[in-house]
Structure 1
Amino acid sequence: MVAKGLNEEIKKKNSEKRFRIILENANDLITIINERSEYEYLNETAHLKILGYNREELMSKPALEFVHPDDREKAVIELKKAFEIGETSVELRLKSKSGSYVWVDAKSKSFIDQDGKRKLLGIARDITDNKKIENALKESEEKYKNLFKSIPDGIVTTTMDGKFLSANQAYLNMLGYSLDELKNMNFQLITPEKWREVESEAIKSFMPEGYGTFEKEYIRKDGSIFPISLTAWLIKDELGNPIKMAAFVEDITERKKAEQKLRDSEVKYRNIIENTMEGYFEVDLKGNFTYFNEALCEMSGYTREESQGTSFSK
């Protein structure tokens, strides 16, 4: 019986030794603290690596003293919660020996020790790099949002079947709709019927390349119609499958007015030239005739067809 008891004791000590080796070599911060927030155990190797403190430096102060001042109130609340309900999880910053702060994801679970006292087992993982990436993404998103809001042209995203997902303020101003109104619509509803087939064919044509530009018209909320130039592209998932469409949209009303004004001016100019009694001609940079008015044809005896493309020098 004595030998059996001795063997059990040896097995127990060996088991405890293996368990302690595992704890001491873990990459995460592992601690046991009491209800006064004092350390009763910590794995020194991980704490030295992540925070730079040895066991004595940490055990000499309450655990909360190493928590960032802005996170301390949150830490107190979560510790209290862990002791009351059994477990909790929180992200906070711990001060390292160098003075910088390390972000950790801390999970705690309460237990009763062999003396009947409630303690808290804590496991904290270093997530500083994740936080840096997260902050960089937030900054990038903020820059994108500011660009999205401030760019003068309309920007819009839709599902593959044309339902609106997002739009910047310039696009909303262009049409007179709110974003909530647009989200209950698709782009066919703001497209005059005569343009729907044209648009459908344009979208099909740029599917292989993933982008394309075409012109069409839009219908404003007040019913007025105006011309736009639309540059659209596909947004694809990680497998390369199209999942959304996005587009830059420019109101080209003024450009179309200018083009029409130029055409009207050219017609007026041609009418004046055709009806003048004096001969008039135009040549290209190589000296070839490109235009004769009727008066010059009568003077020269050549028809327009005979003169077109012949050299001025001949």
Structure 2
Amino acid sequence: MEGKENRDKFNRLIDNFHEGYYEVNLKGDFIFLNSSIARMVGYSKEEGLGTSYKKYMSNETAKKVFDVFHQVYQTGEPLHLEYEILRRDGTSVAIENSVYPLKDARGNITGFYGLATDITERKRMENALRRSEEKYRTILESIEDGYYEVDLAGNLTFFNNALSNILGYSSEEMMGMNNREFMDEENASNVYKVFNMVFRTGLPSKGVDWEIIRKDRRKRYIEASVSLARGSDGRPEGFRGIVRDVTERKLAEKMLESAKTRFESLFENANEMIITTDAEGYILRVNRKVLEISGYSREELIGESILKLAPPGCRGNYIGFWKDLLDGKEPRKELKALMKSGEVIYILVSGSVIRDDGRIMEIQYNAHDITHIKKAQGTILRLKDRLNS
């Protein structure tokens, strides 16, 4: 009777957990699930009891989860994994699951229990971050060159077909056209200043940016060179140069700047701690979540070794994680982290190495504070001990 009362009390406490909590037998059938788990899958607790975990995921994911259960059964050690579950309405939810062996009073493993957290929003942010980083690293340029010659007044006297294509006029229309006819006042004034400087100094000007207006009224960005053209007597008679349509490059630069801004925003506002270091482990960047949780300022961390966050006796774990990354592995480990206040928290860390032509550019560490999960685990164990006593 007392055991049942303890179990009922345990169930009520677990049911109020923000994290999902479940228990399955060795066949994988649910023998208990709290309200958070029920909300994740879209079924009631009563509907979920007795069903197999395989009901809520694809066959591929079910095999992955089975392998984890099997490994936990063989080793008796907990494991962490991420996967997607299928809700009743057909939508999917990304979860982070910590799997532990479920033991009876004699210590025999009779099933498994776990804590599951909905990380759908975090995954969305990670994917958005990844897409922005790809855009940030990609620049597309398309270049078409034109050639022109103008007299001292700026009237076209000779040009090639590429320039006609850039401006959108026929060759007949362009012959004798003044540069002011395909520019606004501001750009025409800038062109005059460049031409005037070249005329006075005799020195060519390269890489001058202007904005032109095509016949169809569309605006294009061009990069032009200007050289003084002289007659047979050596006297100036006009100007010549190369025109390159750099509109795509200009737009790409704007897109790059926009993508970079989005990337930095996603990095800074990510709902997880992100630290990047150089190949030797010295911190290059940290996001706001790191500062919020650790209590350090950005200035106190940048340039410091990441081992600054390792509690006494844990440096070897950090170094081992770093070596796994350099060996091409994708480690995912529980580590302890030392806060500025002296408090030690538990973090779940993953990482990746960013290389360029084989050279390590930076190492990125992504970490989640799982102290609440560890505390919840301790609470569960104490409740179970009380239940079994």
TM bucket normalised to smaller: 0.5 to 0.7
The separation in 2 between residues aligned to 1:58 and 1:96, in whole angstroms, is 11
Contact 1:33 1:41 survives alignment (8 Å): yes
**1:90 maps to amino acid:** V
Distance 1:74 1:214, change over 3 A: farther
| Match 1:121 to one of 234, 240, 247 | 240
Gaps of 5+ in 1: 1-26, 272-314
Match of 2:269 among 150, 169, 172: 150
Contact 2:168/2:216 (CA < 8 Å) preserved in 1?
yes
Aligned residue number for residue 157 of structure 2: 41
Report the equivalent of 1:108. 226
Tell me which residue corresponds to 2:331.
Answer: 212
Distance 2:152 2:378 in 1: 83
CA 1:123–1:167 in structure 2 vs 1: closer, same or farther (change >3 Å)? same
Distance 1:128 1:183, change over 3 A: same
Q: From 245, 258, 263, give the equivalent of 2:376.
A: 258
Alpha-carbon distance in 1 for matches of 2:299, 2:186: 38
User: Alpha-carbon deviations, 1:67-116, whole Å to 9, x = none?
Assistant: 35664554444344433442323122222222222322111123544473
Partner of 1:62: 178
Q: Which amino acid aligns with 2:217?
A: G
SS class of match (2:313): helix
Task: Give how far 1:158 is off.
Answer: 0.7
- Distance in 2 (CA, whole Å) between partners of 1:91 and 1:199 is 51
Measure the CA separation in 2 of the matches of 1:34 and 1:178.
Answer: 62
Helix, strand or coil at the partner of 1:211: coil
Alignment of structure 1 residues 165-244 onto 2, 5 Å:
165-237=284-356, 239-244=357-362
Confirm or deny: 8 A CA contact 1:149 1:168 kept in the other structure. Answer: yes
Q: 1:32 and 1:200, CA in 2 relative to 1: closer, same or farther beyond 3 A? A: same
What is the identity percentage for the equivalent residue pairs of Structure 1 and Structure 2? 22
Q: By how many angstroms is 1:118 displaced?
A: 5.9
Q: Tell me which of the two structures has the higher relative contact order, counting C-alpha pairs closer than 8 angstroms and 6 or more residues apart.
A: 2
Change in CA separation of 1:115 and 1:206 when aligned onto 2, cut-off 3 Å: closer
Assess, with a 3 A threshold, how the Cα gap between structure 1 residues 70 and 233 changes in structure 2: closer, same or farther: farther
Rounded Cα–Cα distance in structure 2 between residues aligned with 1:254 and 1:161: 31
- Whether the aligned pair in 2 keeps the contact of 1:148 and 1:155 (CA below 8 Å) is yes
Structure 1 CA distance for aligned equivalents of residues 248 and 270 of structure 2: 33
Q: Is the CA contact 1:29–1:124 (under 8 Å) kept in the aligned structure 2? A: yes
The match for 2:255 is 136
Q: Secondary structure at the match of 2:168?
A: coil
Tell whether the 8 Å contact from 1:29 to 1:42 is kept in structure 2 after alignment: no
3-state DSSP of counterpart to 1:109: strand
Deviation by residue 1:200-225 (Cα, 9 ceiling, x = unmatched): 12232344444221121222233332
Structure 2 gaps of 5+ residues are: 1-143
Rounded Cα–Cα distance in structure 2 between residues aligned with 1:183 and 1:72: 48
Q: Scaled by the length of structure 1, what TM-score is found?
A: 0.67
Deviations 1:217-259 (A, max 9, x none): 222233332221111111121x344332112111222222222
- Preserved contact between residue 31 and residue 39 of structure 1 (Cα < 8 Å): no
**Could you say which residue in structure 2 is the equivalent of 1:304?**
none
CA contact (8 A) 1:39 1:58 kept: no
Give the distance between the partners of 1:141 and 1:210, measured in 2 at CA. Answer: 28
Aligned to 1:268: 386
Residue 31 (structure 1) aligns with: 148
* Alpha-carbon distance in 1 for matches of 2:237, 2:343: 73
Tell me the secondary structure at the aligned position of residue 194 of structure 1.
Answer: coil
